Amino acid sequence: MSTLDLPARNLRLVDVQGLETLARPWLFVHTIRTAFLICILLVSVVYQINIGNFLNVEIWLPVYGVLLANFFLNSVYLFFFDKLEQQSYWNGVLFGLDTMAVTMLIYFTGTSQSLFLFLYLVNLILGGLVFQKEGSWLLALWTSMCFSTLLIVSPEVSGQSLYFSLVVNNIAFVAVTYLSGRFSSQLSLAGTRLQEVHSDLLALQNLNELIVNNITTGMVVVSRTGFVQFFNPPASTILSAEQFNQVKIHEILPEMAWPWESLVSDESVPFERRELRITREKGNQLKILEVVAARLKDSDGKLKGWLFLFDDRTDQKIMEENFRQTEKLAAVGQLAAGIAHEIRNPLASISGSIQLMLDQPQNHNDEDLKLMRIVDKEIDRLNGLITEFLEYVRPEKKTNIPVNLNSVIRECVDSLQFNPKLRKDVEQKLELKAQSQILGNRDKLKQAILNFVINAYQAMDKAAKPVLTIQTIDQVSQGLEPLFVLIIRDTGSGIKPENIHRIFEPFHTTKPQGTGLGLAVTHKILQAHEARISVESVEGQGTKFVIEFPAHRDVHTEDLIPLKQVNKG
Protein backbone atom coordinates (compact mmCIF):
# COMPACT_ATOMS: atom_id res chain seq x y z
CA MET A 1 0.00 0.00 0.00
CA SER A 2 1.42 3.38 -0.93
CA THR A 3 1.53 6.34 1.40
CA LEU A 4 -1.14 8.19 -0.53
CA ASP A 5 -3.57 5.32 0.03
CA LEU A 6 -3.52 5.86 3.79
CA PRO A 7 -6.36 8.09 5.05
CA ALA A 8 -4.25 9.91 7.61
CA ARG A 9 -3.74 13.57 8.33
CA ASN A 10 0.01 13.31 8.98
CA LEU A 11 2.48 10.93 7.36
CA ARG A 12 4.33 9.32 10.29
CA LEU A 13 7.25 6.91 10.36
CA VAL A 14 6.37 3.47 11.69
CA ASP A 15 7.94 2.91 15.09
CA VAL A 16 10.51 0.13 15.11
CA GLN A 17 9.50 -1.68 18.27
CA GLY A 18 12.21 -4.32 17.96
CA LEU A 19 15.15 -1.93 18.15
CA GLU A 20 15.36 -1.97 21.92
CA THR A 21 14.98 -5.75 21.87
CA LEU A 22 17.94 -6.07 19.55
CA ALA A 23 20.13 -3.86 21.69
CA ARG A 24 19.04 -5.29 25.13
CA PRO A 25 17.47 -8.72 24.48
CA TRP A 26 17.02 -9.88 28.10
CA LEU A 27 13.26 -9.72 28.17
CA PHE A 28 13.02 -11.23 24.71
CA VAL A 29 15.31 -14.18 25.65
CA HIS A 30 13.51 -14.95 28.89
CA THR A 31 10.19 -14.90 27.08
CA ILE A 32 11.56 -17.49 24.64
CA ARG A 33 12.91 -19.59 27.53
CA THR A 34 9.55 -19.61 29.27
CA ALA A 35 7.76 -20.58 26.06
CA PHE A 36 10.37 -23.27 25.45
CA LEU A 37 9.82 -24.74 28.91
CA ILE A 38 6.08 -24.87 28.25
CA CYS A 39 6.71 -26.78 25.02
CA ILE A 40 9.00 -29.27 26.80
CA LEU A 41 6.40 -29.79 29.51
CA LEU A 42 3.68 -30.42 26.93
CA VAL A 43 5.91 -32.83 24.97
CA SER A 44 6.71 -34.72 28.15
CA VAL A 45 3.02 -35.06 28.98
CA VAL A 46 2.19 -36.32 25.48
CA TYR A 47 5.13 -38.70 25.59
CA GLN A 48 4.06 -40.06 28.98
CA ILE A 49 0.46 -40.52 27.79
CA ASN A 50 1.58 -42.45 24.68
CA ILE A 51 3.87 -44.77 26.65
CA GLY A 52 1.31 -45.32 29.34
CA ASN A 53 2.33 -47.70 32.16
CA PHE A 54 5.75 -48.46 30.67
CA LEU A 55 7.22 -45.25 32.14
CA ASN A 56 8.35 -45.54 35.75
CA VAL A 57 6.70 -43.02 38.15
CA GLU A 58 10.02 -42.59 39.93
CA ILE A 59 11.37 -41.16 36.65
CA TRP A 60 8.69 -38.88 35.25
CA LEU A 61 7.50 -37.43 38.57
CA PRO A 62 10.88 -35.71 39.36
CA VAL A 63 11.06 -34.62 35.70
CA TYR A 64 7.72 -32.84 35.99
CA GLY A 65 8.78 -31.36 39.31
CA VAL A 66 11.98 -29.88 37.85
CA LEU A 67 10.16 -28.51 34.76
CA LEU A 68 7.37 -26.95 36.80
CA ALA A 69 9.80 -25.41 39.28
CA ASN A 70 11.89 -23.92 36.47
CA PHE A 71 8.77 -22.65 34.71
CA PHE A 72 7.59 -21.05 37.95
CA LEU A 73 10.93 -19.28 38.50
CA ASN A 74 10.97 -17.91 34.94
CA SER A 75 7.37 -16.71 35.23
CA VAL A 76 8.08 -14.91 38.50
CA TYR A 77 11.16 -13.31 36.95
CA LEU A 78 9.20 -12.06 33.93
CA PHE A 79 6.50 -10.63 36.20
CA PHE A 80 9.01 -8.63 38.29
CA PHE A 81 11.37 -7.87 35.38
CA ASP A 82 10.78 -4.10 35.28
CA LYS A 83 10.98 -3.77 39.08
CA LEU A 84 14.25 -5.59 39.62
CA GLU A 85 17.53 -3.81 40.12
CA GLN A 86 20.90 -5.26 39.03
CA GLN A 87 19.26 -7.31 36.30
CA SER A 88 22.61 -8.67 35.11
CA TYR A 89 23.12 -10.36 38.48
CA TRP A 90 19.64 -11.94 38.51
CA ASN A 91 20.07 -13.06 34.91
CA GLY A 92 23.24 -14.90 35.87
CA VAL A 93 21.51 -16.57 38.82
CA LEU A 94 18.59 -17.66 36.65
CA PHE A 95 20.81 -19.13 33.91
CA GLY A 96 22.85 -20.95 36.59
CA LEU A 97 19.67 -22.45 38.01
CA ASP A 98 18.63 -23.46 34.50
CA THR A 99 21.91 -25.34 34.08
CA MET A 100 21.32 -27.16 37.35
CA ALA A 101 17.73 -27.95 36.28
CA VAL A 102 18.98 -29.45 32.99
CA THR A 103 21.56 -31.50 34.93
CA MET A 104 18.81 -32.88 37.18
CA LEU A 105 16.61 -33.74 34.18
CA ILE A 106 19.49 -35.65 32.60
CA TYR A 107 20.22 -37.37 35.88
CA PHE A 108 16.62 -38.57 36.34
CA THR A 109 16.16 -39.65 32.69
CA GLY A 110 19.51 -41.38 32.28
CA THR A 111 22.89 -39.87 31.55
CA SER A 112 23.80 -41.81 28.45
CA GLN A 113 20.47 -41.70 26.61
CA SER A 114 18.74 -38.60 28.03
CA LEU A 115 16.49 -36.57 25.73
CA PHE A 116 17.45 -33.36 27.54
CA LEU A 117 21.16 -33.16 26.63
CA PHE A 118 20.41 -30.58 23.93
CA LEU A 119 19.05 -28.18 26.60
CA TYR A 120 22.64 -27.43 27.65
CA LEU A 121 23.30 -26.06 24.16
CA VAL A 122 20.03 -24.12 24.08
CA ASN A 123 20.87 -22.55 27.46
CA LEU A 124 24.35 -21.56 26.24
CA ILE A 125 22.96 -20.03 23.03
CA LEU A 126 20.41 -17.94 24.92
CA GLY A 127 23.05 -16.96 27.48
CA GLY A 128 25.32 -15.79 24.68
CA LEU A 129 22.53 -13.45 23.48
CA VAL A 130 22.15 -11.92 26.94
CA PHE A 131 25.66 -11.71 28.40
CA GLN A 132 28.89 -10.18 27.27
CA LYS A 133 31.92 -12.37 26.59
CA GLU A 134 32.88 -12.80 30.27
CA GLY A 135 29.38 -13.80 31.30
CA SER A 136 29.04 -16.27 28.42
CA TRP A 137 32.31 -18.00 29.28
CA LEU A 138 31.39 -18.17 32.99
CA LEU A 139 28.11 -19.86 32.04
CA ALA A 140 30.01 -22.28 29.79
CA LEU A 141 32.42 -23.07 32.65
CA TRP A 142 29.50 -23.67 35.03
CA THR A 143 27.78 -25.90 32.46
CA SER A 144 31.01 -27.90 31.95
CA MET A 145 31.40 -28.36 35.71
CA CYS A 146 27.79 -29.53 36.15
CA PHE A 147 27.94 -31.93 33.19
CA SER A 148 31.40 -33.28 34.11
CA THR A 149 30.27 -33.91 37.69
CA LEU A 150 27.17 -35.66 36.38
CA LEU A 151 29.24 -37.98 34.16
CA ILE A 152 31.71 -38.78 36.93
CA VAL A 153 29.09 -39.70 39.53
CA SER A 154 26.95 -41.57 37.01
CA PRO A 155 27.51 -45.35 36.90
CA GLU A 156 26.22 -45.53 33.32
CA VAL A 157 29.37 -44.06 31.75
CA SER A 158 32.87 -45.26 32.54
CA GLY A 159 36.26 -45.93 31.02
CA GLN A 160 37.01 -44.58 27.57
CA SER A 161 33.35 -43.64 27.03
CA LEU A 162 33.61 -41.29 29.99
CA TYR A 163 36.70 -39.53 28.67
CA PHE A 164 35.31 -39.35 25.16
CA SER A 165 32.00 -37.92 26.34
CA LEU A 166 33.75 -35.33 28.52
CA VAL A 167 35.97 -34.12 25.70
CA VAL A 168 33.32 -34.04 22.99
CA ASN A 169 30.64 -32.31 25.06
CA ASN A 170 33.03 -29.74 26.53
CA ILE A 171 34.30 -28.94 23.03
CA ALA A 172 30.65 -28.48 22.01
CA PHE A 173 30.08 -26.17 24.96
CA VAL A 174 33.08 -24.03 24.01
CA ALA A 175 32.11 -23.88 20.34
CA VAL A 176 28.51 -22.97 21.03
CA THR A 177 29.57 -20.30 23.54
CA TYR A 178 32.00 -18.77 21.05
CA LEU A 179 29.49 -18.74 18.19
CA SER A 180 26.62 -17.41 20.30
CA GLY A 181 28.87 -14.65 21.63
CA ARG A 182 29.82 -13.61 18.12
CA PHE A 183 26.19 -13.69 17.06
CA SER A 184 25.17 -11.65 20.10
CA SER A 185 27.80 -8.99 19.32
CA GLN A 186 26.64 -8.72 15.71
CA LEU A 187 23.01 -8.57 16.80
CA SER A 188 23.73 -5.86 19.34
CA LEU A 189 25.71 -3.89 16.74
CA ALA A 190 22.86 -4.21 14.25
CA GLY A 191 20.39 -3.01 16.86
CA THR A 192 22.58 -0.01 17.68
CA ARG A 193 22.91 0.92 14.00
CA LEU A 194 19.18 0.54 13.47
CA GLN A 195 18.57 2.85 16.41
CA GLU A 196 20.92 5.42 14.92
CA VAL A 197 19.19 5.18 11.53
CA HIS A 198 15.80 5.43 13.20
CA SER A 199 16.94 8.52 15.13
CA ASP A 200 18.19 10.13 11.91
CA LEU A 201 14.93 9.35 10.12
CA LEU A 202 12.94 10.70 13.05
CA ALA A 203 15.00 13.90 13.04
CA LEU A 204 14.41 14.32 9.30
CA GLN A 205 10.70 13.67 9.79
CA ASN A 206 10.51 16.26 12.57
CA LEU A 207 12.34 18.78 10.40
CA ASN A 208 10.00 18.03 7.50
CA GLU A 209 6.93 18.48 9.71
CA LEU A 210 8.37 21.68 11.16
CA ILE A 211 8.86 23.13 7.67
CA VAL A 212 5.51 21.94 6.27
CA ASN A 213 3.51 23.10 9.30
CA ASN A 214 5.14 26.54 9.51
CA ILE A 215 5.16 27.68 5.90
CA THR A 216 2.44 30.18 5.06
CA THR A 217 1.39 28.24 1.98
CA GLY A 218 -1.43 25.74 2.40
CA MET A 219 -0.46 22.24 1.25
CA VAL A 220 -2.98 19.50 0.42
CA VAL A 221 -2.24 16.04 -1.01
CA VAL A 222 -5.11 14.37 -2.86
CA SER A 223 -5.34 10.78 -4.08
CA ARG A 224 -6.16 9.87 -7.66
CA THR A 225 -9.80 9.46 -6.68
CA GLY A 226 -9.97 12.96 -5.20
CA PHE A 227 -9.81 12.16 -1.45
CA VAL A 228 -7.67 14.36 0.78
CA GLN A 229 -4.75 12.36 2.22
CA PHE A 230 -2.65 15.07 3.86
CA PHE A 231 -2.94 18.75 4.75
CA ASN A 232 -0.94 21.20 6.85
CA PRO A 233 -2.38 23.73 9.35
CA PRO A 234 -2.14 26.74 6.96
CA ALA A 235 -4.39 24.85 4.50
CA SER A 236 -7.04 24.51 7.20
CA THR A 237 -6.85 28.24 7.91
CA ILE A 238 -6.84 29.38 4.28
CA LEU A 239 -9.69 27.10 3.20
CA SER A 240 -11.68 27.66 6.43
CA ALA A 241 -12.09 23.88 6.83
CA GLU A 242 -11.64 21.94 10.07
CA GLN A 243 -12.17 18.41 8.73
CA PHE A 244 -10.27 17.01 5.75
CA ASN A 245 -9.98 13.27 6.35
CA GLN A 246 -12.08 11.00 4.11
CA VAL A 247 -13.40 14.09 2.29
CA LYS A 248 -13.07 14.86 -1.40
CA ILE A 249 -11.37 18.10 -2.37
CA HIS A 250 -14.37 19.40 -4.33
CA GLU A 251 -16.51 19.09 -1.16
CA ILE A 252 -14.15 21.47 0.66
CA LEU A 253 -13.56 23.77 -2.28
CA PRO A 254 -16.41 23.46 -4.82
CA GLU A 255 -15.25 26.63 -6.59
CA MET A 256 -12.14 24.81 -7.80
CA ALA A 257 -14.18 22.36 -9.93
CA TRP A 258 -11.56 19.61 -9.76
CA PRO A 259 -10.23 17.85 -11.84
CA TRP A 260 -8.73 20.31 -14.29
CA GLU A 261 -8.96 18.54 -17.61
CA SER A 262 -6.02 20.43 -19.12
CA LEU A 263 -3.66 19.14 -16.41
CA VAL A 264 -5.07 15.60 -16.39
CA SER A 265 -4.99 15.06 -20.15
CA ASP A 266 -1.75 16.87 -21.09
CA GLU A 267 1.32 15.12 -19.60
CA SER A 268 3.61 17.85 -20.95
CA VAL A 269 2.15 20.37 -18.48
CA PRO A 270 4.08 19.91 -15.18
CA PHE A 271 1.72 22.11 -13.14
CA GLU A 272 -1.11 24.58 -13.53
CA ARG A 273 -1.83 27.83 -11.72
CA ARG A 274 -5.29 29.34 -11.25
CA GLU A 275 -6.97 32.13 -9.30
CA LEU A 276 -10.09 31.39 -7.25
CA ARG A 277 -12.53 33.70 -5.54
CA ILE A 278 -14.32 32.03 -2.65
CA THR A 279 -16.81 33.16 -0.04
CA ARG A 280 -18.10 31.42 3.06
CA GLU A 281 -21.28 32.24 4.95
CA LYS A 282 -19.46 32.58 8.25
CA GLY A 283 -16.93 34.97 6.71
CA ASN A 284 -17.53 38.62 5.98
CA GLN A 285 -15.22 39.06 3.04
CA LEU A 286 -14.24 37.56 -0.26
CA LYS A 287 -11.04 35.50 -0.42
CA ILE A 288 -8.84 35.50 -3.49
CA LEU A 289 -6.71 32.35 -3.64
CA GLU A 290 -3.90 31.32 -5.92
CA VAL A 291 -3.96 27.55 -6.50
CA VAL A 292 -1.07 25.54 -7.96
CA ALA A 293 -1.78 21.90 -8.87
CA ALA A 294 0.95 19.37 -9.73
CA ARG A 295 1.22 15.61 -10.18
CA LEU A 296 2.66 13.26 -7.56
CA LYS A 297 4.45 10.26 -9.09
CA ASP A 298 6.41 7.37 -7.62
CA SER A 299 9.89 6.27 -8.71
CA ASP A 300 8.39 4.29 -11.59
CA GLY A 301 6.59 7.32 -12.95
CA LYS A 302 3.16 6.03 -11.95
CA LEU A 303 0.64 8.67 -10.92
CA LYS A 304 -0.15 8.40 -7.20
CA GLY A 305 -2.10 11.60 -6.62
CA TRP A 306 -2.03 15.39 -6.75
CA LEU A 307 -0.33 18.15 -4.80
CA PHE A 308 -2.15 21.45 -4.26
CA LEU A 309 -0.56 24.65 -2.96
CA PHE A 310 -2.87 27.43 -1.75
CA ASP A 311 -1.85 31.03 -1.18
CA ASP A 312 -4.15 33.76 0.11
CA ARG A 313 -3.66 36.65 -2.32
CA THR A 314 -6.54 38.79 -1.05
CA ASP A 315 -4.37 41.56 0.40
CA GLN A 316 -2.10 41.56 -2.62
CA LYS A 317 -5.03 41.77 -5.07
CA ILE A 318 -6.68 44.56 -3.10
CA MET A 319 -3.36 46.41 -3.05
CA GLU A 320 -3.04 45.98 -6.81
CA GLU A 321 -6.57 47.26 -7.36
CA ASN A 322 -5.92 50.21 -5.09
CA PHE A 323 -2.68 50.93 -6.94
CA ARG A 324 -4.49 50.88 -10.28
CA GLN A 325 -7.16 53.14 -8.80
CA THR A 326 -4.45 55.53 -7.61
CA GLU A 327 -2.89 55.58 -11.06
CA LYS A 328 -6.25 56.41 -12.57
CA LEU A 329 -6.73 59.16 -10.03
CA ALA A 330 -3.34 60.63 -10.85
CA ALA A 331 -4.09 60.62 -14.57
CA VAL A 332 -7.55 62.07 -14.06
CA GLY A 333 -6.16 64.67 -11.66
CA GLN A 334 -3.70 65.92 -14.25
CA LEU A 335 -6.47 66.10 -16.80
CA ALA A 336 -8.80 67.87 -14.39
CA ALA A 337 -6.22 70.48 -13.49
CA GLY A 338 -5.87 71.36 -17.17
CA ILE A 339 -9.49 71.48 -18.25
CA ALA A 340 -11.39 72.65 -15.15
CA HIS A 341 -10.32 76.27 -15.58
CA GLU A 342 -10.86 76.21 -19.35
CA ILE A 343 -14.37 74.82 -19.04
CA ARG A 344 -15.60 76.95 -16.17
CA ASN A 345 -14.61 80.28 -17.73
CA PRO A 346 -16.72 79.79 -20.89
CA LEU A 347 -19.52 78.35 -18.76
CA ALA A 348 -19.51 81.48 -16.61
CA SER A 349 -19.71 83.67 -19.74
CA ILE A 350 -22.51 81.58 -21.24
CA SER A 351 -24.41 81.47 -17.95
CA GLY A 352 -24.10 85.25 -17.52
CA SER A 353 -25.33 85.88 -21.06
CA ILE A 354 -28.33 83.58 -20.64
CA GLN A 355 -29.24 85.16 -17.30
CA LEU A 356 -29.08 88.61 -18.92
CA MET A 357 -31.39 87.49 -21.71
CA LEU A 358 -33.80 85.88 -19.24
CA ASP A 359 -33.95 89.16 -17.31
CA GLN A 360 -35.40 90.80 -20.49
CA PRO A 361 -38.35 88.51 -21.33
CA GLN A 362 -40.11 91.27 -23.29
CA ASN A 363 -37.46 91.01 -26.00
CA HIS A 364 -38.03 87.26 -26.60
CA ASN A 365 -40.92 85.05 -27.50
CA ASP A 366 -42.05 82.09 -25.38
CA GLU A 367 -40.16 79.52 -27.43
CA ASP A 368 -36.89 81.39 -27.04
CA LEU A 369 -37.43 81.73 -23.28
CA LYS A 370 -38.07 77.99 -23.01
CA LEU A 371 -34.86 77.18 -24.86
CA MET A 372 -32.84 79.60 -22.74
CA ARG A 373 -34.15 78.04 -19.52
CA ILE A 374 -33.05 74.60 -20.82
CA VAL A 375 -29.60 75.98 -21.61
CA ASP A 376 -29.37 77.55 -18.12
CA LYS A 377 -30.40 74.27 -16.48
CA GLU A 378 -27.80 72.26 -18.42
CA ILE A 379 -25.14 74.85 -17.56
CA ASP A 380 -25.91 74.30 -13.87
CA ARG A 381 -25.80 70.54 -14.38
CA LEU A 382 -22.46 70.75 -16.18
CA ASN A 383 -21.07 73.04 -13.51
CA GLY A 384 -22.20 70.57 -10.84
CA LEU A 385 -20.52 67.73 -12.71
CA ILE A 386 -17.26 69.68 -12.83
CA THR A 387 -17.53 70.42 -9.11
CA GLU A 388 -18.12 66.73 -8.34
CA PHE A 389 -15.26 65.77 -10.62
CA LEU A 390 -12.87 68.19 -8.94
CA GLU A 391 -13.93 66.86 -5.55
CA TYR A 392 -13.08 63.36 -6.76
CA VAL A 393 -9.56 64.23 -7.93
CA ARG A 394 -8.78 66.53 -5.00
CA PRO A 395 -6.49 64.77 -2.44
CA GLU A 396 -8.26 63.78 0.77
CA LYS A 397 -6.87 65.13 4.01
CA LYS A 398 -6.59 62.52 6.72
CA THR A 399 -8.53 63.39 9.87
CA ASN A 400 -8.03 61.52 13.16
CA ILE A 401 -11.18 62.48 15.05
CA PRO A 402 -13.08 59.63 16.80
CA VAL A 403 -16.40 59.03 15.04
CA ASN A 404 -19.31 56.91 16.23
CA LEU A 405 -20.25 55.35 12.91
CA ASN A 406 -23.47 53.85 14.31
CA SER A 407 -24.90 57.33 14.86
CA VAL A 408 -23.78 58.39 11.37
CA ILE A 409 -25.60 55.38 9.87
CA ARG A 410 -28.76 56.26 11.81
CA GLU A 411 -28.65 59.83 10.48
CA CYS A 412 -28.23 58.61 6.90
CA VAL A 413 -31.14 56.17 7.15
CA ASP A 414 -33.40 58.75 8.78
CA SER A 415 -32.63 61.31 6.08
CA LEU A 416 -34.00 59.01 3.38
CA GLN A 417 -37.55 59.58 4.67
CA PHE A 418 -37.47 63.11 3.27
CA ASN A 419 -36.14 62.14 -0.20
CA PRO A 420 -39.12 62.23 -2.59
CA LYS A 421 -37.24 60.32 -5.31
CA LEU A 422 -36.87 57.12 -3.23
CA ARG A 423 -39.36 54.38 -2.34
CA LYS A 424 -41.10 54.61 1.03
CA ASP A 425 -41.93 50.90 1.42
CA VAL A 426 -38.36 49.65 1.85
CA GLU A 427 -37.97 47.49 4.96
CA GLN A 428 -34.98 48.62 7.02
CA LYS A 429 -33.12 46.15 9.24
CA LEU A 430 -30.47 47.72 11.45
CA GLU A 431 -28.18 45.52 13.54
CA LEU A 432 -25.69 48.03 14.90
CA LYS A 433 -23.82 45.92 17.45
CA ALA A 434 -20.33 47.41 17.20
CA GLN A 435 -19.12 49.23 20.31
CA SER A 436 -15.89 50.69 18.96
CA GLN A 437 -15.36 53.89 17.02
CA ILE A 438 -13.20 54.81 14.04
CA LEU A 439 -10.91 57.74 13.34
CA GLY A 440 -11.87 60.00 10.46
CA ASN A 441 -13.95 62.84 9.04
CA ARG A 442 -17.58 62.55 10.11
CA ASP A 443 -18.97 64.55 7.19
CA LYS A 444 -17.02 62.59 4.59
CA LEU A 445 -18.04 59.28 6.15
CA LYS A 446 -21.67 60.39 6.13
CA GLN A 447 -21.35 61.27 2.45
CA ALA A 448 -19.90 57.83 1.65
CA ILE A 449 -22.50 55.85 3.62
CA LEU A 450 -25.35 57.94 2.24
CA ASN A 451 -24.12 57.18 -1.27
CA PHE A 452 -24.14 53.43 -0.53
CA VAL A 453 -27.65 53.60 0.94
CA ILE A 454 -29.09 55.68 -1.91
CA ASN A 455 -27.59 53.28 -4.46
CA ALA A 456 -29.18 50.39 -2.57
CA TYR A 457 -32.59 52.12 -2.68
CA GLN A 458 -32.22 52.81 -6.39
CA ALA A 459 -31.19 49.16 -7.04
CA MET A 460 -34.40 48.02 -5.31
CA ASP A 461 -36.61 50.35 -7.31
CA LYS A 462 -38.31 47.39 -9.02
CA ALA A 463 -37.83 44.76 -6.31
CA ALA A 464 -40.97 42.94 -5.15
CA LYS A 465 -39.80 42.83 -1.54
CA PRO A 466 -37.19 45.56 -0.94
CA VAL A 467 -35.12 45.00 2.21
CA LEU A 468 -32.13 47.08 3.29
CA THR A 469 -29.94 45.45 5.96
CA ILE A 470 -27.14 47.33 7.70
CA GLN A 471 -24.91 45.60 10.26
CA THR A 472 -21.95 46.72 12.32
CA ILE A 473 -19.80 44.35 14.34
CA ASP A 474 -16.50 44.43 16.21
CA GLN A 475 -14.16 41.84 14.74
CA VAL A 476 -11.04 40.83 16.66
CA SER A 477 -8.64 38.13 15.42
CA GLN A 478 -5.70 36.79 17.41
CA GLY A 479 -2.54 38.65 16.51
CA LEU A 480 -4.39 41.17 14.28
CA GLU A 481 -5.63 44.71 14.82
CA PRO A 482 -9.33 45.05 15.81
CA LEU A 483 -11.72 46.00 13.03
CA PHE A 484 -15.01 47.87 12.80
CA VAL A 485 -16.96 45.96 10.13
CA LEU A 486 -19.85 47.59 8.27
CA ILE A 487 -22.10 45.38 6.11
CA ILE A 488 -24.69 46.90 3.74
CA ARG A 489 -26.96 44.43 1.96
CA ASP A 490 -29.90 44.99 -0.39
CA THR A 491 -32.33 42.78 -2.32
CA GLY A 492 -32.10 44.76 -5.54
CA SER A 493 -31.20 43.97 -9.11
CA GLY A 494 -27.58 43.06 -8.33
CA ILE A 495 -24.49 43.70 -10.44
CA LYS A 496 -23.47 41.81 -13.55
CA PRO A 497 -20.27 39.75 -13.12
CA GLU A 498 -18.47 41.69 -15.85
CA ASN A 499 -19.22 45.01 -14.08
CA ILE A 500 -18.51 44.10 -10.46
CA HIS A 501 -14.80 44.99 -10.72
CA ARG A 502 -15.54 48.37 -12.35
CA ILE A 503 -18.11 49.84 -9.97
CA PHE A 504 -15.56 52.14 -8.32
CA GLU A 505 -14.10 53.41 -11.59
CA PRO A 506 -14.85 57.05 -12.45
CA PHE A 507 -17.55 57.62 -15.10
CA HIS A 508 -18.65 53.99 -15.00
CA THR A 509 -22.40 53.87 -14.49
CA THR A 510 -25.41 51.77 -15.51
CA LYS A 511 -27.95 54.49 -14.60
CA PRO A 512 -29.49 56.58 -17.42
CA GLN A 513 -28.90 59.87 -15.57
CA GLY A 514 -25.81 58.85 -13.59
CA THR A 515 -22.41 60.50 -13.80
CA GLY A 516 -20.39 57.48 -12.64
CA LEU A 517 -18.64 59.51 -9.95
CA GLY A 518 -20.72 58.65 -6.89
CA LEU A 519 -19.10 55.34 -5.96
CA ALA A 520 -15.71 56.57 -7.20
CA VAL A 521 -15.84 59.45 -4.70
CA THR A 522 -17.10 57.05 -2.03
CA HIS A 523 -14.21 54.66 -2.68
CA LYS A 524 -11.75 57.51 -2.39
CA ILE A 525 -13.22 58.59 0.96
CA LEU A 526 -12.99 55.06 2.31
CA GLN A 527 -9.41 54.73 1.07
CA ALA A 528 -8.53 57.90 2.98
CA HIS A 529 -9.91 56.20 6.10
CA GLU A 530 -7.75 53.08 5.45
CA ALA A 531 -10.85 50.95 4.91
CA ARG A 532 -10.99 47.70 2.94
CA ILE A 533 -13.99 47.07 0.69
CA SER A 534 -15.25 43.81 -0.75
CA VAL A 535 -18.33 43.29 -2.91
CA GLU A 536 -20.53 40.24 -3.34
CA SER A 537 -23.41 40.38 -5.78
CA VAL A 538 -25.78 38.01 -7.53
CA GLU A 539 -27.66 39.42 -10.48
CA GLY A 540 -31.37 39.55 -9.71
CA GLN A 541 -30.90 38.80 -5.98
CA GLY A 542 -28.99 41.71 -4.50
CA THR A 543 -25.62 43.10 -3.47
CA LYS A 544 -23.57 43.09 -0.28
CA PHE A 545 -20.81 45.55 0.57
CA VAL A 546 -18.41 44.66 3.40
CA ILE A 547 -16.30 47.58 4.65
CA GLU A 548 -13.59 47.06 7.27
CA PHE A 549 -12.31 50.07 9.20
CA PRO A 550 -9.43 50.05 11.70
CA ALA A 551 -11.21 50.21 15.06
CA HIS A 552 -10.63 52.93 17.65
CA ARG A 553 -11.62 51.98 21.20
CA ASP A 554 -11.93 55.44 22.78
CA VAL A 555 -15.69 56.07 23.16
CA HIS A 556 -17.00 59.58 23.88
CA THR A 557 -20.01 60.03 26.12
CA GLU A 558 -21.89 62.24 23.68
CA ASP A 559 -21.55 59.61 20.96
CA LEU A 560 -22.82 56.79 23.17
CA ILE A 561 -26.35 58.24 23.45
CA PRO A 562 -27.46 57.62 19.83
CA LEU A 563 -25.70 54.21 19.91
CA LYS A 564 -27.88 53.15 22.86
CA GLN A 565 -30.94 54.37 21.00
CA VAL A 566 -29.96 52.31 17.97
CA ASN A 567 -29.43 49.14 20.02
CA LYS A 568 -32.72 49.72 21.80
CA GLY A 569 -34.50 50.08 18.48
* Domain shared by 121 and 158, yes or no: yes
Q: Using an 8 Å Cβ cutoff, are 308 and 291 in contact?
A: yes
Q: Is residue 13 part of a domain?
A: no
Digits of tens for pLDDT over the chain (569 positions)?
334 433 333 434 434 444 444 445 556 666 666 676 676 667 666 656 665 554 555 656 666 676 667 667 766 666 666 665 666 666 677 777 777 777 777 776 666 666 667 777 777 777 777 776 677 788 788 888 887 887 777 766 666 677 777 787 778 778 887 887 777 777 777 777 888 888 888 888 788 777 777 788 888 888 888 888 888 888 888 887 776 777 888 888 888 888 888 788 887 788 888 888 887 655 456 788 889 999 888 878 888 888 999 988 888 887 887 777 777 767 766 676 667 667 777 877 788 888 888 888 877 788 888 888 888 888 887 777 777 666 666 666 667 889 999 999 998 888 887 778 888 888 889 999 998 999 988 888 998 898 899 888 988 888 888 999 999 998 876 557 888 999 999 998 888 887 777 787 766 666 655 556 678 778 888 888 888 888 888 888 899 999 999 988 654 433 433 333 333 33
Q: Is residue 3 part of a domain?
A: no
Q: What is the pLDDT of residue 549?
A: 92
Q: What is the pLDDT of residue 397?
A: 66
Please identify, among 372, 393, 414, the residue that sits at the C-terminal boundary of a domain. 393
Q: Is residue 209 part of a domain?
A: no
Q: Is residue 5 part of a domain?
A: no
* Domain shared by 269 and 379, yes or no: no
* Domain shared by 388 and 407, yes or no: no
Q: Is residue 335 part of a domain?
A: yes
* Domain shared by 372 and 437, yes or no: no
Measured CA to CA, the distance from residue 90 to residue 76 in angstroms comes to 12
CATH number at residue 454: 3.30.565.10
Q: Is residue 2 part of a domain?
A: no
* Domain shared by 250 and 342, yes or no: no
Per-residue CA distances from 60 to 39, 65, 98 (Å): 16, 9, 18
Q: Is residue 555 part of a domain?
A: yes
* Domain shared by 364 and 490, yes or no: no
Q: pLDDT tens-digit profile of 306-351?
A: 899 998 888 888 788 777 777 776 776 667 666 766 777 787 778 8
* Domain shared by 225 and 362, yes or no: no
Q: What is the pLDDT of residue 467?
A: 92
* DSSP secondary structure of 312-349: E-HHHHHHHHHHHHHHHHHHHHHHHHHHHHHHHHHHHH
Q: Using an 8 Å Cβ cutoff, are 276 and 288 in contact?
A: yes
Structural domain total, the chain: 4
Q: What is the pLDDT of residue 5?
A: 39
* Domain shared by 72 and 153, yes or no: yes
* Domain shared by 37 and 55, yes or no: yes
Q: What is the pLDDT of residue 204?
A: 82
Q: Which residues contact 274 (CB under 8 A, 6 or more apart)?
A: 256, 260, 290, 291, 293
* Domain shared by 385 and 410, yes or no: no
CATH number at residue 262: 3.30.450.20
Please identify, among 393, 415, 435, the residue that sits at the C-terminal boundary of a domain. 393
Domain that holds residue 247: 218-312
Please identify, among 271, 287, 312, the residue that sits at the C-terminal boundary of a domain. 312
For residue 165, the one-letter residue type is: S
* Domain shared by 303 and 373, yes or no: no
Q: What is the pLDDT of residue 85?
A: 63
Q: What is the pLDDT of residue 338?
A: 66
Q: Is residue 347 part of a domain?
A: yes
Q: What is the pLDDT of residue 557?
A: 37
* Domain shared by 173 and 242, yes or no: no
